Amino acid sequence: MIAGRTRDALARRLICDPRARVAVAVLVSLIVIAAFAPLLSPYDPKSQLDIVALRSQPPSAQHLFGTDTFSRDVLSRMIHGARVSLVIAALSVTLSITIGVLVGATAGFLGGTVDTVLMRFVDGALSVPRLLLILVVVALWQHIGVGVLTLLLGLTGWFGVSRLVRAETLSVRERDFVLAARALGSGPARILQQHILPNVVGPALVAAALGIGNVILLEAGLSFLGIGVRPPTPSWGAIIQDGAERVGELWWMTLFPGLAILVTVFACNALADALRDALDPRQLPYDSSAQRQAPQA
């Protein structure tokens, strides 16, 4: 009931936000591109067209974004790369959010020793650069496939989420409707499911949007350092890495995938901003109209 009303209000505020509209448009078209990649891409992304005559060609009418050193069409690789990059991001973020929500809600709801132990662990994990952690693991266990990479990104991405969710849970836990439900004899699992989870959906969504952007950046960074998706699978980071050796001459292999990453991450972050503002109306601009809109807590 409450959740439903909040959801409607949230949706209304989001629709009014131009940032959200642009971000959703970008992300939806990306998803469409990724879904219909084989239909949209002009060439087979893994096929080497002519390793002598067509290698390292700058952008032209036949190859809008040029070809790489293996004579593969960069545009086609980017279109298929969207698939790989987005799937890695979506799956790993789903994993992080799930773990983060479960851990955060458990810690916040149960409190006590469980809370202390979990949050100390999270504090510790947050103080290590995620990049470093992944680098050590990926570099030492070589021949890592897309699956393991996704798992690794997911398992190292939930720490921040769990803190957010815990804070939200703590604030909800003592509210009247939760206390009432308890008094009526609802078990912890039921309370968690009925009352707490709906209230942490908002922060979790924000974290998910930010997380997807983050993972795409991280995957590109790992590829740049020479660790990432195995050839010939195209991901945006892998395309950049293929051209990184000769960035001065083969600029098209760095520029276009880099822009694709920038636009996608920008859309994710803009969506996260819009979501956050929609969830927390206090953040609205300090002027008379905002004063009127702001609900009195």
Partner 1 sequence: MPHPLRVSGLTAVLSMLVLALAACTDRTAQPTASAGAGDEGGTIVISTAADAGSLLPTLVTSITDREVTDLLFDRLAEIGYSLNTVGDKDFSPQLAERWEWASDSMSIVFHINPKARWHDGAPVRASDVRYSFGLIRDSTVGSPIASLVSNVDSVSVRDSLTAVVWYKHHVPEQFYDFVYQVVVVPEHILSNTPGAQLKSADVTRRGIGSGQFRLAKWEPGVRLELVADTANYRGRPKVDRILFLVSPDYNAAATRFFSGEADVLEGLRADLIPKMATDTTRRVIRFPSLNYSYLRFNAVDPTAPSRPHPIFGDRAVRRALSMAIDRRAMLRNVFDTIGHLAYGPFPTASSLADSTLSQLPYDTMQARALLNGAGWRVGPDGIRVKNGRRLEFALATPSSSAIRHQYAVLIQDALRRVGAAVRIDESDFPSFTAGQLARTHDAEMGSYNPDPSVSALRQSWATAGIGGDGQNYGSYSNPVVDALIDSAMTSFDAARTEDFAHRAFNRIIQDAPAVWLYENPSMAGVARRIHTTRIRADGYWSGLADWFIPAAERTARDRLGLRPTP
Partner 2 sequence: MGGFLARRFLQAVSVVFSVTTLTFVLIHMAPGDPIMVALQSPNITEPVRAQWRASFGLDRPLGEQYLRWMASIARGDLGFSFSLRRPVHDVFADALPRTLVLTGLALVLAFAIGIIVGVLQAERPGGSRDRGLGRVLLVLYSVPDFWLALLALVLFAYRFPVLPAGGMVDPVMHDYLTFSGRVADRLRHLVLPVATLALLTAAGIARYQRAALLDVVHADWMRTAVAKGLSWRVALRRHALRNALLPVITLASLSLPALAAGAVFVERVFSWPGMGNVTVTAIAARDSPLVTAGVLLISTVVAVGSLMADVGVALADPRIRVAS
Distance separating alpha carbons of residues 72 and 56, to the nearest angstrom:
9
247 near partner 2 (CB under 8 A): yes
Q: How many residues bind partner 2 (CB under 8 A)?
A: 45
What is the radius of gyration, based on Cα positions, of the chain?
23
Distance separating alpha carbons of residues 271 and 17, to the nearest angstrom:
10
Do 80 and 41 meet the contact criterion of CB atoms below 8 Å apart? yes
269 near partner 2 (CB under 8 A): yes
Examine residue 232 and say whether the peptide bond preceding it is cis (omega within 30 degrees of 0): yes
Q: Which is nearer to partner 1, 51 or 294 (CB)?
A: 51
User: Binding residue for partner 1 (CB under 8 A) from 48, 94, 186, 269?
Assistant: 48
Q: Which residues contact 242 (CB under 8 A, 6 or more apart)?
A: 68, 69, 70, 253
Interaction with partner 2 in 274-293: which residues (CB under 8 A)? 282-287, 290
Minimum distance from residue 281 beta carbon to partner 1 (Å):
50
Query: Could you tell me what percentage of the chain is helix, strand and coil, using 3-state DSSP and rounding each to the nearest 5?
Result: 75, 0, 25
Q: In this structure, how many other beta carbons lie within 10 angstroms of the beta carbon of residue 16? A: 11
Interaction with partner 1 in 51-90: which residues (CB under 8 A)? 51-52, 55, 69-71
- Is the dihedral angle over the CA atoms 278, 282, 288, 293 positive or is it negative? positive
Distance separating alpha carbons of residues 229 and 218, to the nearest angstrom:
12
213 near partner 2 (CB under 8 A): yes
Give the binding range for partner 1 (CB under 8 A) out of 30-38, 109-117, 240-248, 267-275. Answer: 240-248
Interaction with partner 1 in 213-232: which residues (CB under 8 A)? 226, 230-232
Interaction with partner 2 in 19-58: which residues (CB under 8 A)? none
247 near partner 1 (CB under 8 A): yes
The tokens describing 13, both together, are: 């505020």
Look at residue 46 and give the partner it binds from partner 1, partner 2, none, a contact being a CB closer than 5 to 8 Å depending on partner kind: partner 1
Do 57 and 66 meet the contact criterion of CB atoms below 8 Å apart? yes
Q: How many residues bind partner 1 (CB under 8 A)?
A: 22
Q: At what angle do helices 159-173 and 112-126 cross, to 10 degrees?
A: 150
Do 269 and 209 meet the contact criterion of CB atoms below 8 Å apart? yes
Q: Which is nearer to partner 2, 1 or 289 (CB)?
A: 289
Binding mask 99-138 for partner 2 (x = CB under 8 A): ---------------------x--xx-xxxxxxx--xxx-
Q: Which residues contact 150 (CB under 8 A, 6 or more apart)?
A: 87, 88, 91, 92, 95
Look at residue 130 and give the partner it binds from partner 2, partner 1, none, a contact being a CB closer than 5 to 8 Å depending on partner kind: partner 2
Of residues 84, 75, 216, 73, the one with CA closest to residue 145: 84
User: Binding residue for partner 1 (CB under 8 A) from 1, 113, 129, 143?
Assistant: 143
Look at residue 55 and give the partner it binds from partner 1, partner 2, none, a contact being a CB closer than 5 to 8 Å depending on partner kind: partner 1
The site for partner 2 (CB under 8 A) is made up of: 120, 123-124, 126-132, 135-137, 139-141, 213, 217, 220-221, 224-226, 240, 244, 247-248, 251, 254, 258, 261-262, 265-266, 268-270, 273, 282-287, 290
The site for partner 1 (CB under 8 A) is made up of: 46-48, 51-52, 55, 69-71, 139, 142-143, 226, 230-232, 244-249
